[in-house]
Structure 1
Amino acid sequence: MHRCARRQRRRHFVCHHQWSLSRCGVVSRGHQAHERKRSVCDPRDGLKLRMPLNSDSKSASVGVNGWMYGAAFFALLAALAPFGVNVAVGLSPVFANNVNMDADARAATVALFVLGLGLGQPFMGGAADHWGRRPAMMGGLLLGLLGAIAAAFANNDTQLLWARFISGLGFSACMVVPRVCLRDLHQGPVLQRNMATLSNIFAVTPVITQPLAWALGHWFTWRVPLLALVAFVLVVIFVSWRWQPETRSAGTLAPKWGVWLEVASDALILRTCLTFAFANAPFFVVAAIGPVAIKQSTGVSGGVIAAILGGTYLGFAVGNFWVRRNASWSSTLLINQGLCLIGASMLTFICTLWWPSLWLWSLALTLYAVGQGIVFPAGFSQVLEGRALQAGVASAVIGTIHMTTGGLVAWIAGSLSLAQDVSLVLVCSLVSGAAVLVWLWMKPAVVHIGMK
């Protein structure tokens, strides 16, 4: 009799405890032993979740869909990639004045880091789908930390360049895992809105990082900004270890070769990836030869050019804000709008060949930045929305095509034996036209079924 009463009290306590935790969005680890289908989250264990066997994005968000796990949290994890790129951009004049590094080596500090970001994404995407989001993120951060430490204490150009490449490989996890986690937690308009917020990190980081890196390198030594990058990595590692949730569903497919082929050959994903890559390629061209091209065309000073290029990041933020405000619209509609703005910017770029005025360059760059700011989050949302159980692979596919295409196009633009402004306008117009053609040519056919 007493034993039965104790069982009833224990059962009542467990139910009441479960109800209390459910109000906070948390499910206890002890309840997992009684009901395996639920997620597990112990507040004393750093919010480590285990997903149910057949969950979708809605069930994945149970327990972590609070204010802390919005796009702002994952933006902090993703900030390392643009931070690492723009540290080298800000240090470029310091390398030239204090280290006597030639122009090719200075460009390689950025190019090899970006190359690492592109080549590392397939491995990080596969790891995120196979072992989980947290292990992939922690592994990438640790590899990036080793590369960042090696770069800060490098003794020659060769060591610095290899260290930058290794850190780029590691930080490629920051390009994949945060987006995959958002796809696990959200879908539809909420996913698109959070993707737009996450993309703003690419607009804000250069404005802060480039002048900060230059100032630290100018006032102290070139190692100080790289040591600041090491400190930032340590902060992100602690935040990821302590608070990043494991959002991977147990039904997620392992990254076998068949899965990669299936995702890459998907007509919708292939169309979006190619359009996305071509539409974003002019950004790499402008970053590579834009300052020289504008100076050749207009003759203005480097400070004015830097201000104009800085304004383009604000245009990118405006495009992200437009997607966030109209997140209920379809990704296809938003991409159409972004491509229209990019097409208008290319016409303006062409006009600069006949009327090389500063305001025309500013207008062209601003129109392109706004269009790119719309295409960027909308493209990622469309790819990840269709591949819930292969989100890591899908994110890696679009990211790798994006980085590889951008780097190749920028290299072609810089190697042409033409004036820099002509090369910029020619290459940017061609790849933007290719983006529009791919988007229209690969448009899926609509089949109308008549009523009988």
Structure 2
Amino acid sequence: MKRQRNVTLLLMLILLVAVGQMAQTIYIPAIAGMALDLHAREGAVQNVMAAYLLTYGVSQLFYGPLADRAGRRPAILFGMAIFMLATLVAVTTSNLTVLIAASAFQGMGTGVGGVMARTLPRDLYAGTELRHANSLLNMGILVSPLLAPLIGGLLTTVWGWRACYLFLLALCAVVTFSMARWMPETRPTGTMNMRLITRYKTLLGSGAFTCYLLMLIGGLAGIAVFEACSGVLLGGALGLSSMAVSVLFILPIPAAFFGAWFAGRQNKRFSTLMWQAVASCMAAGLMMWVPGWFGVMNVWTLLVPAALFFFGAGMLFPLATSGAMEPFPFLAGTAGALVGGLQNMGSGALAWFSALLPQNSQFSLGMLMTFAGLLILLSWLPLALRHGQHEQTV
């Protein structure tokens, strides 16, 4: 009975996180139309995603402690209310600056989903079951980025880009009602009553937690910068239609789905899986950058390295999240806030920086993805040494 209850909670969590995931990517095929309607350049529209990611990350630093103190349910309902109000503004505005501000408030609302994606599994599982649950959760979450660009491309073609935000508003309303009606409270009864600064000092004082956190920042940053640049490169530089962009945009995402499944196999050593994830991300960054040095760019030079990076990141997310969260069962909300918050702040900053760079080739994209892969590698090396010593003594 308990197992069935836990599976139901994971499904509800997937729907919650899907709202935030779709808000980030559903308008990718509509970037050209948004720029035309709002009288802005396409590169400037990328700031909509950057603003969303930054506030999505910052807000998590507050939702985590709130969830530890007040409970998981109140935090979720509060965040979803903010998202719905911001989405109403996004639907009605004709000004890019207002749209960017609305996107920032959307991220502020859905930040609660980012926290819960890391907190609820730790409430329900431990050990190898936690790694397996995080793997299943990431596989489920990856379905929404697969669907979002296709839905966005269809809505944009038929009704225009504002229909994307109307769809998000309806989806959020359904999810919020479901959470309010059926979700139980999962906060552990022994959750520590500590000052906020003490919570963060405890977590950041752990070297392993910090290394896992940096790896997660690198993984999401590499994905975010591809998402931010791909619409401009495929639609603007290569001249593809919005529907073609939406189809090509989702092609690397199944690789992340497969990576999450690959990481969830219980008969493989943790360190072996981590090395495979790290190597995939590092190689993918170089594969994206090298063609840019020679001025080569086509659909294949963009999508093949992206698929490899998505595969590595798909492995990395459940593995590194489990490694970071498992030692802190009674600080799960705050730990999830730091993991999700700083992860998304870092990826948002890189997406914002990518908007400032030239978008007529894949050189800038490859450079930033290589940087993300290098951050992952350098953060894993001290952990790999520690795991190697532990395995020798066992």
Which range, TM-score by smaller chain? 0.7 to 0.9
> What's the offset of the Cα at 1:222?
3.9
Residue in 2 that maps onto 1:233: 172
2:205 to 265, 288, 301: 265
Any idea what the Cα deviations from partners look like across 1:333-377, whole Å, max 9, x if unmatched?
A: 322210111223234334424594654544322211111110012
1:423 and 2:364 are equivalent in the alignment: yes
Q: Which of 76, 86, 109 is the aligned partner of 2:25? A: 86
Report the CA distance between 1:291 and its aligned residue. Answer: 5.0
Query: What is the CA–CA distance in structure 2 between the aligned matches of 1:426 and 1:152, rounded to whole Å?
Result: 35
Amino acid paired to 1:242: R
Larger radius of gyration: 1
Closer, same or farther in 2 for the Cα pair 1:96/1:246, shift >3 Å?
Answer: same
Amino acid at match of 1:177: M
If the length of structure 2 is used for normalisation, what is the TM-score?
0.87
Distance 1:347 1:221 in 2: 37
- 1:57 paired residue number: none
- What residue in structure 1 maps to residue 102 of structure 2? 163
Once residues 226 and 296 of structure 1 are traced to their aligned partners in structure 2, the CA distance between those partners, rounded to angstroms, is: 23
Aligned partner (choices 363, 378, 387) of residue 437 of structure 1: 378
- Residues 109 and 429 from structure 1, CA distance in 2 versus in 1: closer, same or farther, beyond 3 angstroms? closer
User: Could you tell me the percent identity over the aligned residues?
Assistant: 22
Compared with structure 1, are the counterparts of its residues 179 and 101 closer, same or farther at alpha carbon in structure 2 (3 Å cutoff)?
same
Distance 1:296 1:85 in 2: 20
CA distance in 2, matches of 1:159, 1:410: 19
Cα-to-partner distance string for 1:389-409 (whole Å, 9 max, x where unaligned)? 111111111112211222222
> Shift of the alpha carbon at 1:332?
3.7
Pairs within 5 Å for 1:126-145: 126-145=65-84
Match of residue 346 from structure 1:
285
Deviation string 1:258-300 (CA, Å, 9 cap, x unpaired) is 1111112211100111122123322122122245557899x58
Q: In the alignment, which residue of structure 2 is the partner of 1:176?
A: 115
* Structure 1 residues 413 and 110, CA gap change in structure 2 (3 angstroms): closer
* 1:108–1:418 distance in 2 versus 1, CA, 3 Å: closer
Counterpart CA distance in 2 for 1:358 and 1:223 is 28
Residues 46 and 355, structure 2, Cα contact 8 Å, conserved in 1: no
Tell me the CA shift for residue 323 of structure 1: 1.9
Residue 207 of structure 1 is matched in structure 2 by: 146
Instruction: Report SS of the residue matched to 2:329.
Output: coil
SS in 1 for 2:122: helix
Cα deviation for residue 304 of structure 1 reads: 6.0
What is the CA RMSD across the aligned residues, in angstroms?
2.9
Equivalences for 1:383-422 in 2 at 5 Å? 383-416=324-357, 420-422=361-363
- 1:115·1:168 contact (CA, 8 Å) conserved in 2? yes
Deviation larger for 312-321 or 246-255: 246-255
**Aligned 8 A contact 1:89 1:110 in 2:** no
Higher helix residue share: 2
Show the 5 A alignment for 1:281-430: 281-292=221-232, 301=240, 307-324=247-264, 326-327=265-266, 329-352=268-291, 353-354=293-294, 356=296, 358-416=299-357, 420-430=361-371
Which of the numbers 37, 55, 75 marks the counterpart of 1:116?
A: 55
Q: Secondary structure at the match of 1:100?
A: coil
For residues 317 and 68 of structure 1, do their structure 2 counterparts lie closer, same or farther at Cα, with a shift above 3 Å needed?
A: closer
1:220 partnered with 2:154? no
CA contact (8 A) 2:289 2:365 kept: no
The answer to whether the 8 A contact 1:147-1:164 is kept is yes
Following TM superposition, by how much is the alpha carbon of 1:314 offset from its aligned partner in structure 2, in angstroms?
A: 1.1
**Structure 2 CA distance for partners of 1:102 and 1:198, relative to 1, 3 Å:** same
Which amino acid letter does the alignment assign opposite residue 119 of structure 2?
V
How far apart are 1:96 and its partner, in Å? Answer: 3.0
Query: For residues 107 and 277 of structure 1, do their structure 2 counterparts lie closer, same or farther at Cα, with a shift above 3 Å needed?
Result: same
AA at the equivalent of 1:344? A
Tell me the distance in 2 between the aligned counterparts of 1:371 and 1:224: 33
Decide whether the 8 Å contact of 1:279 with 1:339 is kept in 2. no
Amino acid at match of 2:16: L
Q: Does the CA contact (< 8 Å) of 2:86 and 2:103 recur in 1?
A: yes
Letter in 2 for 1:160: L
More divergent stretch after superposition (441-450 vs 329-338)? 441-450
Higher relative contact order (CA 8 A, sep 6+): 2
Kept after mapping to 2: 8 A contact 1:331/1:381 = no
Cα 1:305/1:87, change in 2 over 3 Å: closer
1:114 shift after superposition: 1.5
- The more displaced of 257-266 and 345-354 is 345-354
Tell which deviates more after alignment, 271-280 or 386-395: 271-280
Aligned in 2, Cα 1:113/1:434: closer, same or farther, shift over 3 Å? closer
Q: How far apart, CA to CA, are the structure 2 residues paired with 1:300 and 1:103? A: 13
* CA shift in 2, pair 1:333/1:132, >3 Å: farther
Cα drift, residue 429 of structure 1: 1.6
Deviation of 1:226 after TM superposition, in Å, equals 1.6
